[in-house]
Structure 1
Amino acid sequence: MASNKSKPGRPVIKAGTSYKSPSIPELSKDKNEIILGLLSSLLEPIGRHRAAHTVKSSAKKSNKRKRTSEQDTDPAVNPQPQEPEILKHLTVGLNSTSRHLEAEAAFSKSEQTSVPDKETKATEQATRKRMGVVFLTKPKDNLVYAHLPLLCYASSGAEKEKSQHTRLVLLDPACERTIATAMGLPRAGVVGLFDDAPGAAPLLEYIRDNVALVEVPWLEQALSGKWMGINVETYLSGQV
């Protein structure tokens, strides 16, 4: 008579490092609302400017009307209104924010590995635009944005004062619509704010007092040169 006992599955071995993943500080509901309110107030001039001065194109204009319109919009006759100053102190979107953080990280690395003369260092510091905070309105487990904690951490490597380190603020995903509306944009998943942004002092001060720094344990442990070992787990297939 055949046995009803099933054969045990083959053992599965899973190996991983002991390094912990980067941690993004989470906000309470009250802090989320306060930061959203301060940020929206700061960005509203951008939305008002775009609403008042953005001309929607029309594909039904005749060539004659088009030529007349071009004459009417001649910069010499009707100069373009000046954009809000805050626009010069922002990065909007994942790509532009990531590029700036990468440049900051490269600058921090050069500061740590080389000793430039005082004049060169003063010039670099004067022309440098330092990112104070990055706002993220996407789920933190979204792989598209998984590099932001590391970039925020690496971009602050040359800053001795922790209060000057770049903060990564994880807002509720529902906040994206409010921020996008304030800027007159369809989306606003990632927004970077520079330290010298006009009118941003209350927002930056509140964030530095209430939002913890990004932690990247694996980078700190890897740079220490200490062997952390390997985690090995063994289990049978079919078992949870």
Structure 2
Amino acid sequence: MYKKLKEKCYRANIELPRLGLVIYTFGNVSAIDRKLGVFAIKPSGVDYAKMKPDDMVIVDLEGKVVDGNLRPSTDVNTHLVLYREFPHIGGIVHTHSTYAVAWAQAQRPVPIYGTTHADHLACDIPCSEPVPDERIEEDYEIETGRRIVEHFRANKLNPNEVQMVLAAGHGPFAWGVNEEKALYNARILEELCRIALLTERINPQVQRLKPSLIAKHYNRKHGKNAYYGQKD
């Protein structure tokens, strides 16, 4: 019943090492089937080279494991919250990639300094607030997801347009309409974090990209009259 969903999730997970986004067993990808009301996610602590499609764990939107012999990723409840609250996303990637984690540990959003950033986002890469002490022991993973959702709502960010975030002190999450787009956004997130760090190192007084260039670069790829790429 879940063979196709497990295969999609497996293929996405084994892309993480190839993309340079994980080492050892760090990170995870999930993929959801909205019609079935379940998602597949990487099993916890299993080496990517040793994983098989059938190792993927199927979880419903109440957080119950409905298929699989292994424990799901420890981040499963963060994925769960994001799937519940952002109903249009179809895949989620969480990694501990170097540059994105560095910005998350600094608890800073990533400023929009140039057109490479503006090609993908018309705003800074957001950084959610830290999980409060009283929620860490029992509800840490759920609260991580809640902090992301609350940050988006408080700052009027559209998760269908801003498809990446830094969880303060933790690391990056990215999503998309499917697991392939989520992978793409995770790789872009890491590169934007790297470029921003290098930019600040070269010029600590660097100014944000001017609004006219932000609008131009974002809209030519994502706007109503976008003209980047080829016509279908």
TM-score interval, normalised by the smaller of the two chains: under 0.3
Is the radius of gyration larger for structure 1 or structure 2?
Answer: 1
Question: Scaled by the length of structure 2, what TM-score is found?
Answer: 0.24
Larger RCO (CA under 8 A, 6+ residues apart): 1
